[in-house]
Chain A
Amino acid sequence: MTRLRALTRHRLFFPLVCLLLVLLLNVVVTVATTGSPGPFFQISLTNGALNGPLVTILNRSSELVILAVGMTIVVSCSAGTDISVGAVMALSGAVSIWLLGFGELKDNGYHVESYVVPYAVGLLAAVAVGALCGAWNGFLVSKLKIQPMVATLVLYTGGRGIAKVVADGQIDKVDVASYKWLGNFIQDADGHNLMPIPTAIFIAAAVVAVTAVVLRRTALGMNIQAVGINNKASRLVGLRSNRIVLVAYIFCGACAAIAGIIATSRIGGIDANNCGKMLELDAILAVALGGNSLAGGKFSLSGSVIGAVTIQALTTVLYSINVSADQLPLFKAIAVIVIVVLQSPDLKPLLQRAGGVFRRLALSAKRAGGPA
């Protein structure tokens, strides 16, 4: 009993329950449409690659997981959100493809036929652009004390515009086959998959692992939370809180860039209008679904990761129910409301009170009917 209580009190309990609920919904839908739960859990090896709903959910949630990691840190130390991450994805992707096809893009009809600069330089440039955007956001928040949402609004509105200018208003494509590896599967020249697991899952796992290790092994994790809980007090005890906030935003920008690299690799090009569109909201939602307070302070990285996967699992279930496209946002909204309400700390006493009423009713019913 006490063990059960400890379990339900664990901060990851509700996020996990929500994830399981959504997965269960997936199973129910699969049963309803195919008659057995099998297809949902089925993982087949086709063309040398693992294939199945569970793999897809993990694969498709990669960008969101990476964004959520960065967002968690920002939320924790600055009690605010970085709403520019979607635009930063587009911008860093655009810059990296612009560099890869430097000077030749327009002549080749906006296709990169071969790399002008090494691939690695393109990737590093993307991360650098992301970090730079993060530094800008961090500067506005930590030095100029502008509210995070307002500060990041600058790049939220402007970033995508700059990305479009960099991409020359076109969807710039990369024709080098290996460019698609990071967002899909690593393949040989004939299109056979060499690695059974989608590459993006590795990248997301690596980002989570590195972040977790750095936060645990150094004092950084604790310092970030301290700054988030009380910025002033942290400064008084000697933490350089401004610098910590700045670093958090730089890290968040770099995460956005990595997500941008995956997104551009998935389609083999940069679609500046659509890359990462609305993902900033999903990333914030992932942090919230993970049981983290948007008011900053203590955070759980694993909670945010679970939140991100939950959102993707929800999208998958909506696709498989085949709700018509115009109703899709409505269903998502309902699910989000249910999940958020379930996690509300004020819900529990309400439920307990309701439970008490039910018990009393049941008891009186029993008493009334008992002797008869």
Chain B
Amino acid sequence: MKKKFLATAALAALAFSLTACGGTNTPPPADDSSSDASPTAAGAASGYSLVPKDTNGDGFITLGFAQVGAESGWRTANTQSYKDYFVEANGFKLVFLDANQDADKQKQDVRDLIAQGVEVIDLAPVTDSGWEPVLQEAKDAGIPLIVSDRQLSVSDDLYLTYFGGNMEEEGKTAVKWLQDYITANNVTDPINILHLQGTIGSTAQKGRTKALDDAAPANDWNIVFQQTGEFTQAKGQEVTESFLQQGKDFNVIYSENDDMTYGAIDALRAAGKDPKEYIIISFDGNKSAVQMVVDGLIDVIAECDPLLGPQVGDLIKKAEAGEQIAKITYSNESYIDSTNAAEKVKTAFGS
């Protein structure tokens, strides 16, 4: 059993390590045990009635955060935003546990948090399955739990809410930006898009691809090439290089993460083409990429914001105050283009 678990965990970790944008995290509502009694709006619908409360009466809500690991710039920035926000000045205490992308360790982490009697748990799961027993333990202990970043395939009466980014919405943001750009600049040339997809099947790829696939026919855009760059710079470069040799016309690059965008830009340069002559759309918003927006190489980045600590904090406070919390809450995200890049580059995450 344990072996099977390990294998599943390893596989899942492997699969997740492929995703580019970390995804988003949310903190859970704090509070504790015997609060089964007070059904919040969140719970009412789904049979989940726990809300974050300062059960130990120390004046702070203690958040136990079970983080995935530190596998990307997105992730480390995400962790830092929790550490910055969940401080006593904001009415919180933070217990932070890092699973090092090990699903088994993470289950133990959550149990540790339960044993420590934290008042709310935020779980950014390494894997999306196998969580029922642990979540049930948290529920039995009366500790409200927020799932963040990645959704779980468990019954939604086992957690307070899911909080995270909405990949399809990010895609729509990018598509909308392109529509606006075409209108504003009176572009009459046919729009031919080189579409670099993320790792096929990942949440980020599915959402971002769907937005473009839906918008292209409606706007009369041609997707001249659609291929996965597996969220890596190396593949993004290779695929773009290969596409360039086909000599097809294109004027837009829609690249589902920053790393592939770097690769595409390198490939353009190697082929003697000026990246500035193409409309380049990217996702996530790493520091180097935002700098490229400043430099005019990238036209727009649909943000996948890792700085979720404060938003999770708000969510906890609302739940504590008895407000109804939806089962799914998406983080606030926007886009970065020439109008705000100079400002955004100062706070951008990663390298």
Q: Is the CB of A52 within 8 A of B245?
A: yes
A263-B234, A267-B262, A273-B17 as given contacts; A173 in contact with B351, CB under 8 Å: yes
Stretch in A117-125, A314-322, A337-345 touching the partner: A314-322
Return the CB mask of B140-168 against A: 1 if under 8 Å, else 0. 00000000000000000000000000000
- Whether the Cβ atoms of B234 and A326 lie closer than 8 Å is no
**Interface pair B242/A191, CB less than 8 Å apart:** no
**List of A residues within 8 angstroms of B243 by Cβ:** 319
Pick the interface stretch among B34-42, B52-60, B222-230, B294-302. B222-230
Check: A37 CB closer than 8 A to any chain B CB: no
Known: A53-B245, A172-B351, A275-B234. 13 other contacts (CB 8 A): A39-B245, A39-B247, A110-B351, A111-B288, A169-B76, A171-B233, A191-B269, A316-B242, A319-B242, A320-B246, A322-B225, A324-B226, A325-B228
Report the minimal beta-carbon distance from A192 to chain B, rounded to whole angstroms: 9
Cβ of B271 within 8 Å of any chain A Cβ, yes or no, is yes
B263 → chain A, closest Cβ, in Å? 7
A171: B residues at CB distance < 8 A: 72-73, 233, 259, 351
Q: Does B71 contact A (CB under 8 A)?
A: yes
Contact, CB under 8 Å: B71 / A51: no
Return the CB mask of B215-238 against A: 1 if under 8 Å, else 0: 000000000011110101111011
Contacts of A320 in B (CB 8 A): 242, 245-246
Given the known inter-chain contacts A39-B246, A49-B270, A170-B76, please indicate yes or no for A326 contacting B200, CB distance below 8 A. yes
CB–CB A56/B242 < 8 A:
yes
Contact A109 B242 (CB under 8 A): no
Q: Among B234, B246, B271, B350, which residue has its beta carbon within 8 angstroms of that of A47?
A: B271
Contact A267 B272 (CB under 8 A): no
Which residues of chain B in 172-216 are interfacial with respect to chain A, using CB atoms and an 8 Å cutoff? 197, 200-201
Q: Is A114 an interface residue (CB 8 A)?
A: no
Cβ of A266 within 8 Å of any chain B Cβ, yes or no, is yes
Q: Whole-angstrom distance from the CB of A269 to the nearest CB of chain B?
A: 7
Interface size on A, residues (CB 8 A): 41
Look across to chain B and name the residue whose beta carbon is closest to the beta carbon of A108.
B351
Q: Mark A294-333, 1 if CB is under 8 A from B, else 0.
A: 0000000000000000000000100110101110100000
A152 → B minimal CB distance (Å)? 18
By secondary structure, the A interface counts as mixed
Whether B170 sits at the interface, judged by CB under 8 Å, is no
| Minimum CB–CB distance for A4 against chain B, Å | 36
Closest chain B CB from A104 CB (angstroms): 13
Residues of B within 8 A of A263 (CB): 234
Question: 8 Å CB contacts to B: which residues of A19-54?
Answer: 33-34, 39, 46-47, 49, 51-53
Is there an interface contact between B226 and A266, defined as CB atoms closer than 8 Å?
A: no
Residues on A with C-beta less than 8 A from B228 are: 325, 328
Q: Does B122 contact A (CB under 8 A)?
A: no
The 6 closest A-B pairs by CB, nearest first: A47-B272, A325-B228, A46-B272, A110-B351, A319-B242, A267-B233
Would you call B284 an interface residue if the criterion is a C-beta within 8 Å of the partner chain's C-beta atoms?
no
Residues of A within 8 A of B238 (CB): 60
CA distance A49 to B267 in the complex (A): 13
Answer yes or no: A185 CB below 8 A from chain B CBs: yes
A46 and B271: CB pair below 8 A? Answer: yes
Q: Which partner residue on chain B sits nearest A326 by CB separation?
A: B200
Q: B126 within 8 Å of A by Cβ?
A: no
Contact of A274 with B by CB under 8 A: yes
The residues of B that contact A47 with a CB separation of less than 8 Å are 270-272
Complex-state Cα separation, A271 to B230, whole angstroms? 13
Q: Which residues of B have CB within 8 Å of A271?
A: 232-234, 259
Cα distance, A39 to B78, chains bound together (Å): 47
B105 at the A interface (CB under 8 A): no
Is B241 positioned at the interface, with any CB of A under 8 Å from its CB?
yes
A184 located at the interface, meaning its Cβ lies under 8 Å from any Cβ of chain B in the complex: yes
Chain A residues in 8 Å Cβ range of B72: 169-171
Closest to B247 in A: A39
A143 to chain B: closest CB distance in Å? 30
- Cβ-defined contact, A111 with B351, below 8 A: yes
Contacts of B262 in A (CB 8 A): 267
Q: Of B70, B76, B247, which one neighbours A34 at CB under 8 angstroms?
A: B247
Q: Answer whether residue B239 sits at the interface, using C-beta atoms and an 8 A cutoff.
A: yes
